[in-house]
Amino acid sequence: MKCPHLMKWVIFSCMANEQPYDPSLFELREYCTGKQHKKCPFYLKLVSEKYEVLV
């Protein structure tokens, strides 16, 4: 399953960061296009911030 924050248009962009971000080819391969997206630094930050709000 690919990362739910990955958006494809003409280029790939990620909305998990505070501003739109264009992942590198390495990030696309390592994080965005498979189950590894849960290890992405932006994804981890987003999840931890949501958790802090809930606590």
- Tally of domains within the chain: 1
Does residue 1 fall inside a structural domain?
no
Instruction: State the Cα–Cα distance between residues 30 and 39, nearest whole angstrom.
Output: 9
pLDDT at 36 over 80: yes
pLDDT at 1 over 60: yes
- What's the rounded mean pLDDT across residues 9-20? 72
- Range of the structural domain that residue 34 is part of: 6-54
pTM (2 decimals)?
0.56
